[in-house]
Amino acid sequence: MPTLLERQRDMRDWVLATTGTPPLPNAGLHRDNTLGGLAAVLAAGFPVTQRLVGEACFTGLAQAYVRHEPPREAPLLRYGTGFPAWLTGQEVARQLPYLADVARLEAAWTHAYHATEAAPLDASVLATLGDAVEDAVWRLHPSHRFVTSPWPVDRIWQANQPEAGDATVDLDTDGDTHLLVVRPAAEVLLIRLGPGAFALLMALGAGLPLGSAWDNALALDAGFNLEHELTGLLAAQVFTGVELP
């Protein structure tokens, strides 16, 4: 008789294979349960990607991904982090060139949704800093992710929300998308950034002080208006702290 370890390895191999003989009668029910359950987890995490390719196509993709990269941790909240990158190698991603970028946006959304909580920056702190504010490091909310794409992935995402109706997106305009995905409170925010604001936040996210980050923004966008951008970002509560180095 096989040992317990052999039993479990045989079962794993068979569940994740596409062919073969079941190790015991009814083992197929467990294969269906694992693949079906994990495909449903991916569908819940990537609903727009699913809508773009259709349910049957998505299930096929999801099950292929599960076999390629089964979960390595028990919670499935983060499962599918590698799905967008894997998707870029699939035939459907050549037919829908924005598909993998939409999936990256959905992965960023999921990350922000489950990310750690942090209290927003109290803007009155800024007044106490005076001119030193330019030397300060501005902390972005820990839930944040940046997503960039040559396609208007935020418009595609919005047009494919359940409440959106039959919205259409012009793929030839509004491309060159820079997004900040962040959850300062209960709701995940998708904030479309201009090239200057994107450069500013990338630099702040990397730990540069505001003055240097501002220079980065101006280098990309000579008309960049720091005060205007910061007012909007502060109102969205995307910062959690300002510290002098």
Partner 1 sequence: MGITGIGLKARHTAELLAHRPSLRFLEVHAENYMGAGGPAHRWLTVLREAYPLSIHGVGLSLGGAEPLDADHLADLAALVNRYQPELVSEHLAWCRIDGTYLNDLLPIPYTDASLSLVADHIDQTQTALRRHILVENPSSYMAFPESDWDEAAFLAELARRTGCGILLDVNNIHVSAHNIGLDAKAYLAALPTGAVGEIHVAGHEPVTHDGRAVLLDTHGAPVTAAVWDLYRQALTRFGPVPTLVERDANIPPLAELLSEVATADGIAEVLPGKDAAHAHAA
Binding site for partner 1 (CB under 8 A): 1-5, 7-9, 11-12, 15-16, 24-30, 33-34, 37-38, 41, 70-78, 113-117, 143, 183, 186
Q: How far is the CB of 77 from partner 1 (least distance, A)?
A: 5
Whether 214 and 226 have beta carbons less than 8 Å apart is answered as yes
Residue ranges of alpha helices (H) inside the chain are 4-16, 27-45, 47-53, 55-68, 83-87, 91-95, 99-114, 124-129, 153-159, 195-205, 210-220, 226-235
The residue assigned the tokens 């959905």 is 106
- CB nearer to partner 1: pick between 70 and 195: 70
- DSSP label of 143: T
Q: How far is the CB of 23 from partner 1 (least distance, A)?
A: 8
Q: How far is the CB of 8 from partner 1 (least distance, A)?
A: 4
- DSSP label of 209: B
Whether 218 and 224 have beta carbons less than 8 Å apart is answered as yes
| ∠ CA 162-163-164, rounded to 5° | 95
What is the SS3 string spanning 3-31?
A: CHHHHHHHHHHHHHCCCCCCCCCCHHHHH
- CB nearer to partner 1: pick between 4 and 127: 4
Q: How far is the CB of 102 from partner 1 (least distance, A)?
A: 22
- CB nearer to partner 1: pick between 68 and 94: 68
- CB nearer to partner 1: pick between 28 and 232: 28
- CB nearer to partner 1: pick between 79 and 151: 79
Q: How far is the CB of 99 from partner 1 (least distance, A)?
A: 24
- CB nearer to partner 1: pick between 4 and 222: 4
- CB nearer to partner 1: pick between 14 and 214: 14
Q: How far is the CB of 87 from partner 1 (least distance, A)?
A: 20
Q: How far is the CB of 143 from partner 1 (least distance, A)?
A: 8
Q: How far apart are CA 233 and CA 239, in angstroms?
A: 8
Whether 16 and 67 have beta carbons less than 8 Å apart is answered as yes
In one-letter notation, the amino acid at residue 80 is G
